[in-house]
Each structure stands twice: as structure tokens, then as C-alpha cells.
């Protein structure tokens, strides 16, 4: 990437009228620290910090008597904000430079936020801390520190691991890239490791949130008796790439089978977060959130929450949707306690015989 001078960096904010100062004069109006901060925020795609520093440059220009230039910089910022609010700002597609990545990654731009999730207090606190570190990464780097960027999420199906990756991407205004395991893992010796290298090169080149879902497919313990040599080589390659990765991206691995993971993986991650199923209090919050659009005046949420005991967040959500659809099909806006309890019982009955209570899956 070409590190542009300050005038070109300001152009990145939007269409620009002719600047009234030469580059040398503009540099004199911005301190060396401000220019450095602009370059750093542009490199790390930290738009909020870029705008904040640009406003400082505008204020400095105004104090030095360059009022017109200051107004032009502010106008650029206002225009960029307006275009961003209208959704005209388009992220750069990661697969453009490499056709080989098309079958290895899928991309989306989540609108999720952490507040959209129902999480246990300790998990919410840890995720909030991760977001705080990424939003203040320049401050951390100035002290030789780095934000947590390699996360391992473990827990039963439907506990919110995949949704967490989307919420982190939404909070940080980054794209969510999901690694497609069916395209990554092949039967040919050495090919999977080569594709994995492509993925990590993409992680280094384009900042985003990268999700390795069902991570146990490549991270399973190397000493397992049913293991094959190629899988061991893939895991060794992953460990090497993960150790060497020093990109600004956030890497999230998620698995339902913590016990299947190789022990060497855990120390490679900055944070290991364990998810579970909701207790009665959290289950009631999920029920209320999912049925907020319906008449639940007479619904006994405490009873429904008791009936949800042992079910995951995902299963409770599915039960709420089933009860809501039944109400809509009956031309009603009311969800009754009996209907919701029946839907919860139905979700429990369709579980696999080996799945049991979700509490035992963590």
C-alpha cells in the first residue's frame, strides 16, 4: 500500500475542492504527531481516529489564519460522514486480488452489535474489553502493547459463538470473512496447507474479522488414533501460520468440541472464551426479546423459562419463532403460555439421542 502524503489522505475522505495550500504549507499546519496519527489510522482503517485527527488539523490551520482551508477540511469530513450514513461507503472485496480465494472465503458486512446478543455477564465483559482494546489500539501500540486479536470460542451448539464473530465485526465496522472448510480441506497431500497459507496471506493484507467455524475439523488433537498424516500436517501448518500472524485482523475460531482440540492450540490464542446455555434469567430475556412484537400480556414468562431449562440460545429462539408463526397463521397477535411451552418441548424432543442436555456439551 502506498503511504500517501497528508493531502492525499484527506482526499480519501471524499471528493475534494482545490486545496488552498501547497503540500509543504499544509504539512506546516499539522504537527509531526498529527501526520503520523493520520497515516497510522489510515493504514489500520480506523476511520473514527482519522476524522478526529483531521479535525485537529483543521483547528490548527484555523489558529494559524488559514480559515478557508480549515472550512474545506471540515466540509470534507461532513461529506464523508453523510455518504457513510447513506451506505455508499463500499468495503474493498478481499477476493479481488486472488481468484483462488473465491472458494475459500465468504464475506458479509454484519449490522449486529453486542447489545443484540443475550450474554452471561462475564462473557459480555470479556468481549467488551476486546472491543475497547481494538478501538484504542493506537494508544496500546504507543506503549508497546497490542489488542487481543486471536480468539478461541468454545461451547455447545446454539450458544452464540458464530453470532459473536458477527457482532465483533459489526461493532468494529469490519467485514466478516468466514473460512469455507469444504473448500479448504482436500484429500491431496499438501494442498490444504497451501490453501491455508492463502487464507493467512489474506488475513494479513485485508483487515477484517476472520471466522474459522467448526474449528475442530482442522484443530483436532494430533495423537488421536483415527488421525491421518495429512490432518497432522494441516494442524502443524495452522499452528505455524497462527504463531507468525501479526496482522491487524481479528481471528476467531469456534468449536463445539473443546475436548477434541490439540493442547498446543490453546496457548496460541490471546483469549479462550467458554460459552454455555442460558440460566432461567437469561432464558427469560431471550423469550421477551424474541416475542417483543407480539401481545404477551398474559404470557407466564417464568413458567416458559423453566421449560427452557437445558436448551441453548438457538433452540429457545427457534421455539419462539415456532410459537410466533403459529399465532400469525391463526390470524392472532397473541402468544399464549401453552403454545410457547409446547414449542419449547418440541425443540427438546427433536434433539439427537446423543445430544442430551446442552449443559453437558461444554
| pLDDT tens across the length of the chain (362 residues) | 333 334 444 443 334 333 444 444 444 456 667 777 777 777 666 677 777 778 778 777 777 877 788 788 888 877 776 665 554 444 444 433 356 677 788 888 899 999 999 999 999 999 999 999 999 988 998 999 999 999 999 999 999 999 999 999 999 999 999 988 777 776 666 777 888 888 898 899 889 999 999 887 776 655 555 455 566 777 888 888 998 998 999 999 999 888 878 787 888 899 999 999 999 999 999 999 999 999 999 999 999 999 999 999 999 999 999 999 999 999 999 999 999 999 999 999 886 554 555 443 33
Closest CA to 286 of 256, 309, 266, 262: 309
Same domain, yes or no: 251 and 326: no
Last residue of a domain, one of 216, 247, 274: 274
1 belongs to a structural domain: no
> Which residues on neighbouring strands pair with residue 153, listed in sequence order?
254, 273
Q: CA angle, corner 217, sides to 214 and 218, nearest 5?
A: 115
Which of 211, 44, 212, 52 minimizes the C-alpha distance to 133?
44
Query: Does residue 145 sit in the same domain as residue 55?
Result: no
Counted residue by residue, the chain has a size of 362
Would you state the pLDDT for residue 62?
A: 78
* 219 vs 26: CA distance, rounded Å: 52
Pair 66, 107 in one domain: no
Give domain status of residue 245, yes or no. Answer: yes
Q: Is residue 309 part of a domain?
A: yes
d(CA 358, CA 165): 21
Residue 333 is predicted with a pLDDT of: 93
What pLDDT sits at residue 20? 42
CA torsion angle for 65, 69, 70, 75 (degrees, to 10)? 160
Q: What is the DSSP string of 256-287?
A: S-GGGB-HHHHTTSSEEEE-----HHHHHHHH
Residues 48 and 151 occupy one common structural domain: no
For 40, counting Cβ atoms within 10 Å of its Cβ (0-12 exposed, 13-18 middle, 19+ buried), the class is middle
Residue 119, C-alpha cell as written in the block: 450474554
Is 334 a domain residue?
yes
**124 and 71 in a common domain:** no
Residues 291, 322, single domain; the answer is yes
Same domain, 15 and 60: yes
* The predicted structure's pLDDT at residue 30: 60
Do 215 and 356 share a structural domain? no
* pLDDT number for residue 259: 81
pLDDT at 11: 45
Nearest-angstrom CA–CA distance, 17 and 72 = 7
In a domain, 105, yes or no: yes
Distance of CA 238 to the CA centre of its chain: 20
Q: Residue 322: which CATH number?
A: 1.10.8.60
Q: Are 169 and 208 spatial neighbours (Cβ–Cβ below 8 Å)?
A: yes
Residue 42 belongs to a domain: yes
CATH number of the domain to which 207 belongs: 3.40.50.300
Single pTM value for the model = 0.68
The side-by-side arrangement of strands in the sheet containing 209-212 is 105-108, 176-179, 209-212, 250-255, 150-154, 271-274
- 312: containing domain: 280-360
Number of domains the chain contains: 3
| Domain co-membership, 289 together with 333 | yes
Give the pLDDT of residue 194. 83
159 assigned to some structural domain: yes
Residue 92 covered by a domain = no
Show which of 235, 258, 274 is a domain's final residue: 274
* Same structural domain, 343 and 220: no
Q: Are strands 105-108 and 150-154 parallel, antiparallel or unpaired?
A: unpaired
Task: Please state the φ and ψ torsions of residue 277, each to the nearest 5 degrees.
Answer: -100, 160
Rounded Cα distance, 116 and 167, in Å = 8
153: enclosing H helix or E strand: strand 150-154
In the numeric block, the cell 495452522 is attached to 238
Same domain (yes/no): 64, 106: no
Are residues 299 and 265 located together in one domain of the fold?
A: no
CA dist 70 to 5, 10, 34, 48, 265, Å?
Answer: 18, 12, 15, 19, 51
| Domain-terminating residue out of 85, 113, 147 | 85
Amino acid at each position: 500500500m502506498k503511504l500517501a502524503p497528508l493531502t492525499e489522505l484527506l482526499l480519501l475522505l471524499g471528493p475534494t475542492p482545490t486545496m488552498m495550500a501547497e503540500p509543504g504549507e499544509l504539512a506546516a499546519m499539522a504537527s509531526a504527531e498529527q501526520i503520523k496519527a493520520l497515516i497510522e489510522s489510515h493504514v489500520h482503517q480506523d476511520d473514527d481516529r482519522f476524522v478526529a485527527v483531521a479535525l485537529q488539523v483543521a483547528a490548527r490551520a484555523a489558529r494559524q489564519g488559514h480559515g478557508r482551508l480549515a472550512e474545506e477540511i471540515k466540509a470534507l469530513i461532513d461529506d464523508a460522514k453523510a455518504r457513510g450514513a447513506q451506505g455508499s461507503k463500499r468495503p474493498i472485496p478481499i477476493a479481488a486480488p486472488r481468484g483462488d480465494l473465491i472458494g475459500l472465503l465468504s464475506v458479509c458486512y454484519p449490522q449486529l452489535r453486542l447489545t443484540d446478543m443475550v450474554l452471561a455477564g462475564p462473557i459480555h465483559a470479556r468481549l467488551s474489553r476486546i472491543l475497547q482494546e481494538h478501538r484504542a489500539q493506537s494508544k496500546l501500540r504507543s506503549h508497546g502493547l497490542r489488542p487481543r486479536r486471536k480468539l478461541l470460542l468454545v461451547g455447545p451448539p446454539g450458544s452464540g459463538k458464530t453470532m459473536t464473530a458477527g457482532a465483533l465485526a459489526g461493532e468494529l465496522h469490519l467485514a466478516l470473512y468466514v473460512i469455507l472448510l469444504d473448500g479448504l480441506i482436500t484429500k491431496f497431500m499438501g494442498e490444504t496447507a497451501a490453501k491455508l497459507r492463502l487464507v493467512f496471506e489474506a488475513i494479513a493484507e485485508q483487515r477484517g474479522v476472520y471466522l474459522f467455524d467448526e474449528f475442530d475439523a482442522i484443530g483436532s488433537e494430533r495423537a488421536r488414533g483415527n488421525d491421518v498424516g495429512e490432518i497432522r500436517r494441516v494442524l502443524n501448518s495452522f499452528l505455524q501460520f497462527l504463531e507468525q500472524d501479526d496482522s491487524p485482523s481479528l481471528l476467531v475460531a469456534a468449536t463445539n468440541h473443546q475436548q477434541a482440540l490439540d493442547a498446543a492450540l490453546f496457548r496460541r490464542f490471546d483469549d479462550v472464551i467458554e460459552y454455555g446455555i442460558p440460566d432461567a434469567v437469561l432464558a427469560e430475556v431471550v423469550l421477551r426479546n424474541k416475542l417483543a412484537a407480539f401481545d404477551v400480556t398474559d404470557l407466564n414468562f417464568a413458567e416458559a423459562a423453566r421449560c427452557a431449562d437445558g436448551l441453548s440460545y438457538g433452540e429457545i429462539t427457534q421455539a419462539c419463532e415456532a410459537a410466533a408463526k403459529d399465532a400469525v397463521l391463526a390470524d392472532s397477535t397473541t402468544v399464549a403460555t401453552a403454545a410457547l411451552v409446547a414449542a419449547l418441548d418440541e425443540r427438546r424432543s427433536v434433539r439427537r439421542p446423543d445430544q442430551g442436555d446442552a449443559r453437558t456439551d461444554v
